[in-house]
């Protein structure tokens, strides 16, 4: 288990617990902000990138910072709008139902966040980066990430798909080696 595994597990547990405490209405706003941020970052990170190059001359990091800044800015803007709408509407649901549905939506949101992190790392880091290759949870998150890659621009999807194939092969080799190591010897 590496740092990425710990990060994914913490995000999922915290997403579930936070969703249980916040309820469905707040969680829906959070999910919408994450989706809007993802689409905006996929579309506009190349626009911001030239402005960051003088500050960060290393291309992979410039792309990651550009992508992250747009993602976080849109998330904050949509969350602010959602909070204002919630206050205006004063929507109240049955407490228990709201909290249970909030927990489920919090877990979904956390899974989406993990998918975005894995997508960005897979797309912009070099092939077979150890943190991805050695992760035990990344293969599971990758399955979810692969289902949403149809929503991203073609150039990013092609890069992700190419690097994903290499990662999947590494993960298969890793698990085959673990099976060989645990098989009883006669």
Instruction: Answer yes or no: pTM beyond 0.85.
Output: no
Mean pLDDT throughout 160-170?
Answer: 84
Q: Of 3, 179, 184, 28, nearest to 98 (Cα)?
A: 28
What pLDDT, on a 0 to 100 scale, did the predictor assign at position 94? 63
What is the rounded distance in angstroms from the CA atom of residue 94 to the CA atom of residue 132? 42
> 156 near 44, Cβ under 8 Å?
no
Distance of alpha carbon 157 from alpha carbon 148, whole angstroms: 10
pLDDT tens per residue across span 23-38: 777 778 888 998 999 9
First to last CA, the chain: 30
Query: What is the C-alpha to C-alpha distance for residues 126 and 167, in angstroms, rounded to an integer?
Result: 11
Q: Which two tokens stand for residue 47?
A: 């626009």
Which alpha helices (H) appear in 127-153, and where do they start and end?
130-133, 138-148
Task: Find, among 126, 140, 146, 144, the residue nearest to 171 by Cα.
Answer: 140
Provide the Cα torsion 105, 33, 36, 67; round to 10°: -110
- CA distance linking residue 146 with residue 163, whole number of Å: 12
Q: Which residue has the higher pLDDT, 98 or 71?
A: 71
pLDDT at 21: 86
The answer to whether 147 and 135 are in contact (CB under 8 A) is no
Domain ranges of the chain: 3-182
Say yes or no to pLDDT of 17 above 80. Answer: yes
Check whether 89 has a pLDDT greater than 70. no
| Paired tokens of 23 | 């309820």
Q: Which of 137-141, 144-148, 159-163 has the highest mean pLDDT?
A: 137-141
The string over 73-99, giving b where at least 16 C-beta atoms fall within 10 Å of a residue's C-beta and e elsewhere, is ebbeebbeebeeeeeeeeeeeeeeebb
């Amino acid at each position: 288990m590496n740092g990425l595994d710990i990060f994914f597990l913490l995000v999922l547990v915290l997403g579930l617990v936070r969703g249980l405490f916040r309820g469905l209405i707040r969680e829906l706003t959070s999910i919408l902000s994450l989706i809007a941020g993802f689409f905006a970052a996929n579309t506009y990170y190349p626009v911001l990138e030239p402005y960051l190059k003088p500050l960060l001359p290393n291309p992979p990091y410039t792309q990651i910072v550009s992508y992250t800044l747009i993602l976080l800015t849109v998330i904050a803007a949509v969350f602010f709008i959602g909070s204002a709408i919630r206050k205006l509407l004063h929507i109240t649901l049955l407490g228990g139902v709201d909290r249970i549905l909030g927990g489920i939506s919090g877990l979904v949101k956390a899974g989406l966040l993990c998918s975005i992190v894995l997508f960005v790392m897979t797309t912009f880091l070099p092939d077979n980066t150890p943190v991805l290759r050695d992760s035990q949870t990344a293969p599971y998150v990758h399955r979810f990430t692969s289902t949403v890659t149809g929503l991203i621009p073609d150039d990013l999807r092609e890069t992700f798909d190419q690097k994903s194939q290499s990662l999947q092969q590494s993960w298969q080799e890793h698990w085959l080696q673990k099976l060989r190591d645990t098989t009883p010897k006669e």
